[in-house]
Amino acid sequence: MKILVAVKRVIDYNVQIRVKEDGSGVVTENVKMSTNPPDDNAIEEAVKIKEAGKATEIVAITIGEEKAQETVRKALAVGADRGIHIKADGILEPLAVSKILQKIVEKEKPDLVFMGKQAIDDDCNQTGQMLSALLNWPQATFASKIEVKENSLEVTREIDEGLETIEVNIPAIVTCDLRLNEPRYASLPNIMKAKKKPIEEINATDLGVDTAPRVEQIKIEEPPKRKAGIKVANVAELVQKLKNEAKVI
Amino acid sequence: MAVLLIAEHNNNNLKAFTLNAVTAASQIDQDVHAIIIGHDCGDASKKLSELPAIKKVICVDAPHYENFTAENFAPVIIKASENYSHIVCSANTFGKNLMPRIAAHLDSSQVSDIIKVISPDTFLRPIYAGNAFATVKTNDSKKCITIRPTSFDPCESSGGSATIENAEAGEEFKSTKFIKREEVKSDRPELGTARIVVSGGRGMQSGDNFKLITQVADKLGAAIGASRAAVDAGYISNDHQVGQTGKVVVPDLYIAIGISGAIQHLAGMKESKIIVAINKDGEAPIFSVADYGLEADLFEAIPQFMEELNKLNTIQK
């Protein structure tokens, strides 16, 4: 069984982002970048499945500028076998990304495609579902547990009401929740070994996919700031303020 | 052209946030039609038809729609979408799972989780966990929009009498099988719509200690929230998680206890009207968004808090 795992390079989750003054976007220069957190869970799950002898090959793929390749290299260091870097500049919307992934799926013919449920930069939560639609494959979104069966997966999904369990036939798409597993760190020897693993580079333009954005970004701005609050000295003062000042209890 | 709203329901009743989505849809265009897909969902479709803002209800009823599987829903909605300019749904796990599957088929670049309708093609949406707001304009002829329910008021729920039109069911998608749903039943208000939310974080130290949060919530008639750290640690189930990848809440009062306030948690609660933070670390980021901060050991503060609340004659619920 072959698993394709899609990873995205985003501003690190610990960074407090800054909005550019001209309203054109957020500052990305000299800002720490890393793999989108739930994409790390997607890689980890694929590696665990391979370690359990249920997968034979893991291919990590990313789409984006030159430096996006770092995320593939990191995936190789934790256990992916080879990488694919689709080179593309500028804003890529989930629709464009899923069309590119569709082309690669048609070429690579994986049995499963894993990715994070949501990218923490644009917060769209679309790509996995869109790819499933384009391929007409089943989709197991927001997965917090995956059990590999003969020709299917049993997936526990995190939903607003609690948990839902579904069974999807292979081939299938899974989008991963942060609670799916605990991503491992790459060891130094594995980081060294990863440098020798192959990464195939493909230009997005060669895939015949129109990646031009459909949604215009008119303006990016800072959200309204909250008024500074106060520290209260003790519980009695807190309750008194809530009762008489804020009038919420 | 009119707007097509996808109703979220449990076959008997509409889910509360359907009413918020109707409000957003009416802000796009006054002409709102709603589609409801389910099994034996006559009661829910009747309730949908009673919303005065809805002009027409399309009901699709078949056994394979009982569990709201996106793979079954999408083709029906795509078929119905022909006469509409917009397709709208709530950005909760139901809508997040479903809408992109529709959008991709329609070759439409979806706009997710909008918090404001600026014009029928221009919307405001949070990005980077709400640390930036993007004004975006979509040029697709069919616009697929998910809305953040807590950013829109619920619509009027009675007095309407829209016609209910039954539409033909689509084929069943056989490669996805529903097995079970584990819903946590509780008498407390729902987290998404509660007037008061009491949340606990890693500082609670154990699932057992989380009972302290329950006590406060019971006293205040509040819903219970949690940080991701508390859910990861197994103190409480996932449906309580507030944050970027959990639920977004906008209560009148949000009480964060033992929560440090990571960016990802703030994303889910910082629009609350009044925020209280109780934390022993005076430098915790949660204090930067708190209206009232109490620097204290929560294991001393909570019993005192209960005592003070008990002294009050009346507590609004």
Identify whether A238 is part of a domain: no
Residue B180 has pLDDT above 60, yes or no: yes
Class of domain B196-311: alpha beta
Q: What's the whole-number mean pLDDT along residues B227-238? A: 96
Q: Residue A155 belongs to what domain range?
A: 2-223
Minimal CA–CA distance to A125: which of B281, B56, B245? B245
Statement: residue B308 has pLDDT above 60: yes
Distances in Å between the Cα of B200 and the Cα atoms of A33, A144, B122, B255 are 30, 22, 37, 8
Whether residue A167 and residue B181 make contact (CB cut-off 8 A), yes or no, is no
**B263-289: pLDDT as tens digits:** 999 999 999 999 999 999 999 999 999
Residue A213 lies in a domain: yes
Give the CATH number of domain B2-166. 3.40.50.620
**pLDDT block averages, 10 residues each, chain A of length 249:** 98 95 95 98 98 98 97 98 96 97 98 98 97 98 97 97 96 97 96 97 95 96 91 96 94
- Match 């304009």 to its residue by tokens: B137
Beta-strand pair A172-176/B196-200 = unpaired
Question: Over 80: is that where the pLDDT of B317 sits?
Answer: no
Residue A19 lies in a domain: yes
A38 within some domain:
yes
| H-type alpha helices, A24-160 | 37-51, 69-77, 94-108, 127-135
How many structural domains comprise chain A?
1
With CB atoms and an 8 Å threshold, state whether B110 touches A95.
yes
Q: Examine residue A118 and state whether it is found in any structural domain, yes or no.
A: yes
**pLDDT greater than 70 at residue B246:** yes
Q: What is the pLDDT of residue B316?
A: 60
pLDDT value of residue B184 = 81
Chain B CB contacts of A234 under 8 Å are 294, 296, 304
pLDDT in tens, B103-118: 999 999 999 999 999 9
Q: What is the mean pLDDT of chain B?
A: 96
A150 close contact with B: CB closer than 8 A? no
* B58-75 per-position pLDDT tens digit: 999 999 999 999 999 999
Residue B240 has pLDDT above 80, yes or no: yes
CB pairs under 8 A between A and B: 266
Q: The domain that contains A166 carries what CATH number?
A: 3.40.50.620
Give pLDDT, residue A227: 84
B141 close contact with A: CB closer than 8 A: no
pLDDT digits (tens, 9 = 90+) for B185-218: 888 999 989 999 999 999 999 999 999 999 999 9
User: Is pLDDT of B84 > 90?
Assistant: yes
User: Do the domain assignments include residue A142?
Assistant: yes
User: What count of other Cβ atoms lies within 10 Å of the Cβ of residue A66?
Assistant: 10
Q: Which of residues 218-237 of B touch A (CB under 8 A)?
A: 220, 228, 231-232, 237
Would an 8 Å CB–CB cutoff place B247 in contact with chain A? Answer: yes
pLDDT score at B185 = 82
**pTM for the structure as a whole:** 0.95
Within a domain: A187: yes
Say what the ipTM of the complex is.
0.95
Q: Which residues of chain B form CATH 3.40.50.620? A: 2-166
- Please give the share of chain B, as a percent, with pLDDT higher than 90: 94
pLDDT for residue B315: 64
Outline which parts of chain B fall under CATH 3.40.50.1220. 196-311
Contact: B127, A93; criterion CB under 8 Å:
no
Q: How many CB atoms lie within 10 A of CB B122?
A: 16
Looking at the domain assignment, is residue A11 inside a domain?
yes
Taking only residues 74 to 93 of chain B, the set having a beta carbon closer than 8 angstroms to any beta carbon of chain A reads 74, 91-93
